[in-house]
Structure 1
Amino acid sequence: MEDRRLNFIKSALAGLPPAPKGRKDFYYDTKEQGLCLAVTSTGTKTFYLYKRVEGRPERILLGRFPDISIENARKAAMSMKGAIAAGKNPQKERRAIRDEMTFGALFTEYMEKYSKVHKRSWAYDEREVNKYLSHWFKRRISTIEKAEVERLHAKIGKENGLYQANRLLERIRSIFNKAIDWGWDGTNPAIGIKKYREKSRERFLQPDEFPRFFVALGNEPNETARDFFMLSLLTGARKSNMLAMVWKDINFTTATWRIPETKNGEAQVVHLSDPAMELLTQRKLASESPWVFPGEGRTGHLADPKKAWGRILAEAGLEDLRIHDLRRTLGSYQAATGANGYIIGKSLGHKSQQSTAIYARLNLDPVRDSVNKATEAMLGYAGAGEEQHR
């Protein structure tokens, strides 16, 4: 274990190396007495207040860096020292609260303090935990053990699929990690449980499936869902971005859609082909909502059109096709019509350090050409579908 003193600034803390295996390195702030940063062998960095409490030296957890900023860590350390000076023992009080906390209370805190603040996909946390873990809500978190999580992981894997089981395991691990970050003196019951090996998905619409798909899509009675699926195919955009599409982000002059923030945390400009622009123009003329795909739920926009998707698959006789596979379909037909990996990545908003420099030199023209060619290839099967329908 090695102790060092330095002025805590973001660049300095971000550049600190991992500690040797099996050890922790402690760095002490030169500006706020007692504020320290522990660095583990895996590179995890955590702020603590090192202070004598009731005659004993204590390291009181403040939060992980960079989840908590240096400025907020200093404020927290100062506040904690004030409480100690007033005769309180924050460590003892915190442990007592956490030991008695129910999983339901912890999950509520997790959603409000972390998921809704830091994750664009917070609604999935809310939905999946309520669906699969509500039987834990009244239990103290200290009673939930690793063997129980292992059994649940196996059960979900068998009944709902390996992917679902792995995502749930990740959520359990994340929730308990936050409990530890916030002062719980327990062990994460999801640590050490191996995820199922997942196969990379390669499903996309095949040429012989397109005619049936387009006929079924045309017969779908829910116009909003029908247009949503068609535009998903034409743009290759992620479902979450499609659902939240607003008119103010669409430029009808340049035929582009600017997504303010994607899954990778960056903005993306999506080229809109002529068929996509025609669809959007028709919707705009009839729209009275800020959302391109309005819905009746609390968000104001379309939620998750699973029922409509199920009807289309049933009528088309298609199996194992997900909404996300429409995104993969556009990329596949871009490749089939001659686009390289950089162009496909640019149009789909993939983030790659290797290609960053090349992307910076690209304008939208080659991307536009690629999307247009892929669109023409895919829509070429629509005519065959209409012939079969007649």
Structure 2
Amino acid sequence: MDNKINFTKIIIDALPTPSPGKRDTYHDKETSGLQLRVTSSGIKTFSVYRRIKGGDPERITLGRYPDMKIEQARREALRIAFEISDGKNPAEVKRGKKAELTFADLFCEYLERHSKPSKRTWREDESKYKTYLEESLGRKKLSIIDRRDIALIHSSITKAGHDITANRVLALVSSIFGWAISAGLWEFNPAIGIKRNKEKSRDRFIQGDELPRFFEAVAKEENEAIRDYVLMSLLTGARRSNVLSMRWQDINFNRAEWRIEETKNGTPQTVALSPEALEILQNRKPSDNAIFVFPGSGKAGHLMEPKKGWKRILESAGIENLRIHDLRRTLGSWQAKTGASMAIIGKSLNHKNQNTTAIYARLDLDPVRDSVNKATSAMLTAAGLKKSAGTVRIRRSKGGDFGK
């Protein structure tokens, strides 16, 4: 069955499915040589059917509809027609197409050759790819990926209410293609020119009137690892990934310190541990030779994803719009409330700021420790757990309430 039709989305979507074992072929009225073949299983594939001077006709498969858009197929058909008119063999063109990388192939190269060797956040790259890019781009050849494809992904993530995530995914795509160009694997970056969403600096932290409900909800959390992880995140102000991968060998109980050899900004950090943080660690300390403070059953060996537990805590506390990263900001905010300087706060949270790095380097840990302890005391007082000086037991007791 050979028909000439105008390739439009409405017409192609309405094409009938051939009977079992049959295949229908349609020719585009607009672009010479461009075909659409429809199988009995409903698969629709674009191809170019052209004759070489003095030879037999050649069929060159372009891609499946709707992964390949109509305009993409037309552009590709025109490109192939030009190459044939220039004396090139379409069989060689076809072999070149088969050898061309898909986006999945390119991401694998990027992950192994660039992301893993040079980025501590390579797992985040992998997660973004699997969540937002694998299904929509993974099987596509690089030559059919254009700016509209990337813009559509960015737009769909944005419409789902994740403006910042959309920007991060766009940045990842741009980084992948940028690296591919530098590595000689590709020639252009289709992510360039796409407008990013405006981002507002987030200033959310746990307010004084929220602290009683927050600590009460943490106390009710049945999962001890999640409960202690949340408390340690709040009391140390350390980054999420560092707390998750906290190791016993890096904790010095005598000096009340936790040494993080490498943080997100590439520098080491010594975290001053408050008496309350030390109590949590003492109670968690195992009798065996455990490696991680928060062990997990996964490949990494430590707790990986606390989102479900975090959601339970927020729902129990009746608190909205609070993220785990906001615990880090909470400690810094309460340090500021208790009179700490920006330099003290910056060193305790390991901020990387060229204007203050030299000041951080000159700071002794003692004033940082004093600031962390004051902030911890202020938070516990605001939560109604502390009325005077002294350490407060903030882990859940057998009775289910916080002990004094």
Counting only pairs closer than 5 Å after superposition, residues 305-320 of structure 1 correspond to structure 2 as: 305-320=306-321
Residue in structure 2 matched with residue 241 of structure 1 by the alignment: 242
Does 2:354 align with 1:346? no
- Whether the 8 Å CA contact 1:271–1:364 is kept in 2: the answer is yes
Which range moves more in the overlay, 327-336 or 124-133? 124-133
Q: CA deviation at 1:99?
A: 7.1
**3-state SS in 1 of match to 2:285:** helix
- Deviations, residues 26-84 of structure 1 (Å, cap 9, x unaligned): xxxxxxxxxxxxxxxxxxxxxxxxxxxxxxxxxxxxxxxxxxxxxxxxxxxxxxxxxxx
2:177 alignment counterpart: 176
Question: Does 2:110 match 1:110?
Answer: yes
Instruction: Show the 5 A alignment for 1:281-360.
Output: 281-285=282-286, 288-360=289-361
Note the C-alpha offset of 1:297. Answer: 0.8
Structure 2: segments with no counterpart, 5+ residues:
1-95, 387-399
Deviation sequence 1:246-303 (CA, Å, 0-9, x none): 0111111110011000111010000000000111111114565210100111100000
> CA offset at residue 134 of structure 1?
1.3
SS in 1 for 2:114: helix
- Once the two structures are TM-superposed, the CA of residue 151 in structure 1 deviates from its matched residue by 1.7
Contact 1:99 1:185 in 2 (8 A): no
- SS for the counterpart of 1:133 is helix
- Name the counterpart of 1:101: 101
* Alignment coverage as a number of residue pairs: 296
CA contact (8 A) 2:177 2:186 kept: no
Structure 1, residues 349-385: CA drift from partner, whole Å, max 9, x if none? 0112222332232111110110010000111134369
Check conservation: 2:256, 2:272, Cα contact below 8 A: yes
Q: For residue 376 of structure 1, what is the amino acid of its counterpart? A: S
Give the Cα–Cα distance (whole angstroms) in 1 for the partners of residues 301 and 252 of structure 2.
Answer: 22
Aligned to 1:191: 192
Closer, same or farther in 2 for the Cα pair 1:184/1:253, shift >3 Å? same
Task: Quote the offset at 1:337 in angstroms.
Answer: 0.2
- Who is 1:211 aligned against? 212
Match of 1:227 in 2: 228
Q: Which has the higher helix share?
A: 1
Are the equivalent residues in 2 in contact too, given 1:225–1:305 (CA < 8 A)? yes
Distance 1:286 1:98, change over 3 A: farther
Query: What whole-Å deviation, never above 9, does each CA across 1:158-204 have from its counterpart, x for those lacking one?
Result: 11411010000001001111111121342211011121110100000
Once the two structures are TM-superposed, the CA of residue 156 in structure 1 deviates from its matched residue by: 0.7
Q: Note if 1:132 corresponds to 2:132.
A: yes
- Number of the residue aligned with 2:54: none
- 1:37-48, aligned counterparts within 5 Å? none
Secondary structure (helix, strand or coil) at the match of 1:383 reads coil
Cα distance in 2 for partners of 1:150, 1:360 equals: 43
- 5+ residue gaps, structure 1, are 1-95
Decide whether the 8 Å contact of 2:346 with 2:360 is kept in 1: no
Contact 1:330/1:374 (8 A) holds in 2: yes
* TM-score, structure 2 as length reference: 0.70
Cα distance change, pair 191–287 in 1 and its aligned pair in 2 (3 A): farther
